[in-house]
Structure 1
């Protein structure tokens, strides 16, 4: 990425290193938009946003990688999405950023909402892309969402045993993720992501991070009982071609943010699950409008 990549040291989980990337040098006069990537991707998911001069002029763009992803590492061996929310808040503190908007894709959406619950004075608004606020429940499957347990359990089982230093994530795994998330990708884009995944998920430590990321996705707690405590505006963008979480689910869940100043769902025709990658123009323009309105 043609940006400013660095890591930040924080105290959480016995001491952690959080991978982060700024689109351009930080400007204290601008609001900050934190970008949280989806399952097993990294800050590179937001290359289209980093390349958008209009979005970059409206806000500081700061990609933060959750535990199990990219360059983020913890001293402790286990973590949850709540831990990633705490880590992101501590990273903002370490960077001297006292308030921010938070945009998250899929799992990034529920990390963003956890951040808003934990630190309402810090999080000024949430933009959720192609996400769900539920656990992988029968309810969500009845509403047309994927079978997350069926998808993830074979991965958890396959990556259960220790491996050697020469291990890298199988190509088929990467293909399966992007088939579900984007309906497939071009050959050039596939080669890019294969290289990123091989770098991020190598050796036994890489296998373990990948497995824990999958356990978290499959076994996470839902947020339905907490959503009425979100006090910041929420913009939920959802693609009509999302193969993972359905528009019908989003329509139900957006109404659960009963105390948010505004909670609005916008559907994007033909948009895929990794919406910032499939429809960057629509996502970026919506983000600019949201940040300018609530900033």
Structure 2
């Protein structure tokens, strides 16, 4: 894992990782992680030789996540989209595709809206383009307000240097993202990763703002008609957070995209890049090769 300094939010240190040394002859695929995870979410993609031979894989950690830090203490998904674009500029990468899992999906769309000359195509996974609305719940999506509010309230007070994120928080995210049958090995990995990333009062605050962002984010429906790059939306039928019917409705909102299609993955979980990596990796490699 490396870091790079960008100017956004009063000056920021952004955590990022390449799967292998950068090859300017290959297109670049930016990977944007899901809620409170880190670049480690994309271990299955980094290990896929077919995918890494197709594109430079560059995982960038959002504000509030992993090793990313900023001078300002509050941030939104728009800020993360801007910072990601500044990371590309700092690394000398003029164009890229963007894959995003869950919240990474709407950050990918924001990047495409902000920099259409940079973003060549997007691959949203297990995501939604709405805010946490009654409309989305009517279509079978979760109640994100009920999920997030106890954590927003519970993380409101300052804590000491010895504080670490509660295991119950991690278990809740893993169950929502990977289903009820998370292996002990995978759980232990993420418990350790979360404890590294969310410690002390700074960790508590970053975790709280990340949860506020998830609960209170703005929707993108009124902006989707301005996305012109190709879109490959992949969604699992076992996604416990956002539903296939919601994805079916929202993919049709990309009316000016060069090509917008939904690929449903039978049995796929919410964190689709982790639960169904072979399907995601193969489809993404094909997408990048087609549009590069």
TM-score for the superposition, normalised by structure 1: 0.98
Number of aligned residues: 291
Structure 2: any 5+ residue segments left out of the alignment? none
* CA distance, structure 2, for counterparts of residue 136 and residue 73 of structure 1: 26
Match of 1:249 in 2: 246
Task: Tell whether 2:12 aligns with 1:12.
Answer: no
Instruction: Describe the superposition over 1:267-286 as per-residue Cα deviations: whole angstroms up to 9, x where unpaired.
Output: 00000000000000000000
CA RMSD of aligned residues (A): 0.4
3-state SS, counterpart of residue 168 of structure 1: coil
Choose the corresponding residue for 1:197, options 183, 194, 201. 194
Choose the corresponding residue for 1:66, options 42, 62, 68. 62
Match of 2:23 in 1: 27
Match of 1:290 in 2: 287
Choose the corresponding residue for 1:93, options 67, 81, 89. 89
3-state SS, counterpart of residue 122 of structure 2: strand
Instruction: Describe the superposition over 1:112-164 as per-residue Cα deviations: whole angstroms up to 9, x where unpaired.
Output: 00000000000000000000000000000000000000000000000000000
Task: Tell whether 2:152 aligns with 1:156.
Answer: yes
Match of 1:124 in 2: 120
Match of 1:206 in 2: 203
Match of 2:73 in 1: 77
Instruction: Describe the superposition over 1:220-273 as per-residue Cα deviations: whole angstroms up to 9, x where unpaired.
Output: 000000000001000000000000000000000000000000000000000000
Choose the corresponding residue for 1:263, options 260, 272, 284. 260
Runs of 4+ in 1 over 3 A off after TM superposition: none
Shift of 1:25: 0.1
* CA distance, structure 1, for counterparts of residue 35 and residue 163 of structure 2: 20
* CA distance, structure 1, for counterparts of residue 172 and residue 212 of structure 2: 17
* CA distance, structure 2, for counterparts of residue 70 and residue 32 of structure 1: 21
TM-score for the superposition, normalised by structure 2: 0.99
